[in-house]
Amino acid sequence: MKRLFWRPRQVSQTVIWLMAGFSLLGLATIEHFRTKAPQSDLDIKMTASTYASEMMRAIKAEKMNMAQASDAAVDPAGSGMIGQLMSPVTTLTGRLSAKQTAVNPNFAAVVVEQLIGAGVESGDLVAVGYSGSFPGMNANVCAALKAIGAQPVIIASAGSSQWGANNPDMMWIDMESLLFEEGLLPFKAVACSIGGYEDIGLGMTVEAKDLVKKAIKRNGLPLLTSTDFVEAIDERMQIYRKQAGGRDYKAYINVGGGTISVGRSMGKRAYKPGLNLSAKHEVLRIDSVMTRFMSKGTPVIHVVEIDRMASKYGLPLAPQQMPPIGEGGIYQQTRYNKLLTATVLVLILLSLRALVLTDFGYRFVKGRGGKKTASSPEPMV
């Protein structure tokens, strides 16, 4: 018995290029007629970013009074939130570009969106853990909490990596106290650790530890005294429970890569930047403050990989000047004209049918030897 095969029709290069050009024209048309619409909760996002800007200006003014103005090459935006390369209280290495990106007050709007995504409302309890490594981002977090009206319970780490709040006379907890005293911040940390490796200042000199302890004392904060990893996690969780007074936390915010907060090496990569509503089972086996909250079903907002977060929300990397309030994708979203998109798609499909599946398209097809065109499938026996 003979088998019947069908030879596929040939499509000329002309048809292929014609369809490619038509498709690109359609894409360009759709992109040209897209519109921008405000994101949700715009008012509270703008309010939070305004608060953050006010806080940063107050800190900058105080640092200038103390003759601690940053070098323009290090702080091109003139934020006043960038520290030194090295100092006695510098705990770890740090990336300057990430510190520069974090000074954008529009990050406060990003934190607002994540808090709302976690279900946080006015009056809700939020646990916070941050160090002095990202003073700009700390200000953004505080501004977002203030704008929403949440009630944070903050445990700070005094130490800072390079380019953070690493001046012994103006550490982050000093900045926080300044904001509180000037009425820009309605809350402040309830306890503080030395910070650094293992959160107990491993590798720091005795002199450096003394400077940090003096800063904690002058800001009236209880010093966390645990020297063991698990014990340090337990100590923090006990403080959060005591401060909650039987109430539940609606979210936990971590800023930076503090070991006690996020866990050791594996823990630092276990949670994605931003809002985490759940975690894999293997992640929950990594002990840390974040994991203990997540194990109870508490959403975690992980503020790390600052450059990646900036790109996601349309914020500039290492801005050369302070970005104005309301600038960035966090405030607006791109919308495409659905009717136009559907129309372009239909036209492309109709064109494909006309040029490929009908005889019209085969006028562009050259037959073999110039005598024959592939106008229809040929049976082969």
Task: Read off the pLDDT of residues 187-224 as tens digits, 9 standing for 90 and up.
Answer: 999 999 998 877 877 778 899 999 999 999 999 999 99
Beta-carbon contacts of residue 20 (< 8 Å; ≥ 6 apart): none
Question: 3-state SS string over the chain?
Answer: CCCCEECCCCCCHHHHHHHHHHHHHHHHHHHHCCEEEECCCHHHHHHHHHHHHHHHHHHHHHHHHCCCCCCCCCCCCCCCCCCCCCCCCECCCCCHHHHHHCCCCCHHHHHHHHHHHCCCCCCCEEEEEECCCCHHHHHHHHHHHHHHCCEEEEEEECCECCCCCEECCEEHHHHHHHHHHCCCCCCCCCEEECECECCECECCCHHHHHHHHHHHHHCCCCECCCCCHHHHHHHHHHHHHHHHCCCCEEEEEEECCCHHHHCCCCHHHCCCCEEECCCCCCHHHCCCHHHHHHHCCCCEEEECCHHHHHHHCCCCCCCCCCCCCCCCCCCEEEECCHHHHHHHHHHHHHHHHHHHCCHHHHHHCCCHHHCCCCCCCCEEC
Tell how strand 166-167 and strand 249-255 pair up: unpaired
Alpha-carbon 328 to chain mean position: 13
Shared-domain flag, residues 166 and 200? yes
Residues of the domain holding 17: 5-34+347-380
CA dist 130 and 142 (Å) reads: 11
Shared-domain flag, residues 164 and 206? yes
Does residue 340 belong to any structural domain of this protein?
no
Does residue 337 belong to any structural domain of this protein?
no
Beta-carbon contacts of residue 234 (< 8 Å; ≥ 6 apart): 226
Q: What phi, psi does 38 have (nearest 5°)?
A: -60, 140
CA dist 247 and 250 (Å) reads: 10
- Provide the pLDDT for residue 4: 52
CA 165 → CA 58, 61, 138, 175, 188, distances in Å? 15, 15, 11, 9, 16
8 Å CB contact between 175 and 148: no
- Provide the pLDDT for residue 373: 44
Shared-domain flag, residues 218 and 314? yes
Does residue 298 belong to any structural domain of this protein?
yes
Beta-carbon contacts of residue 259 (< 8 Å; ≥ 6 apart): 197, 198, 199, 229, 267, 288
Shared-domain flag, residues 368 and 323? no
- Token pair, residue 205, equals 């000199």
Spell out, as residue ranges, where the chain has pLDDT lower than 50: 6-8, 366-381
Nearest Cα residue to 19 out of 374, 361, 372: 361
- Token pair, residue 355, equals 């040029």
8 Å CB contact between 43 and 326: no
Shared-domain flag, residues 158 and 210? yes
Radius of gyration of the chain (CA): 29
Shared-domain flag, residues 263 and 358? no
Shared-domain flag, residues 199 and 324? yes
Shared-domain flag, residues 13 and 53? no
- Provide the pLDDT for residue 38: 63
8 Å CB contact between 196 and 159: yes
Does residue 312 belong to any structural domain of this protein?
yes
Shared-domain flag, residues 20 and 80? no
Shared-domain flag, residues 169 and 275? yes
Does residue 91 belong to any structural domain of this protein?
yes
How many domains does the chain contain in total?
A: 2
Shared-domain flag, residues 289 and 235? yes
Does residue 202 belong to any structural domain of this protein?
yes
- Token pair, residue 159, equals 């130490």
Does residue 99 belong to any structural domain of this protein?
yes
Does residue 338 belong to any structural domain of this protein?
no
Angle formed by the axes of helices 42-65 and 107-117, nearest 10°: 130
Shared-domain flag, residues 320 and 372? no
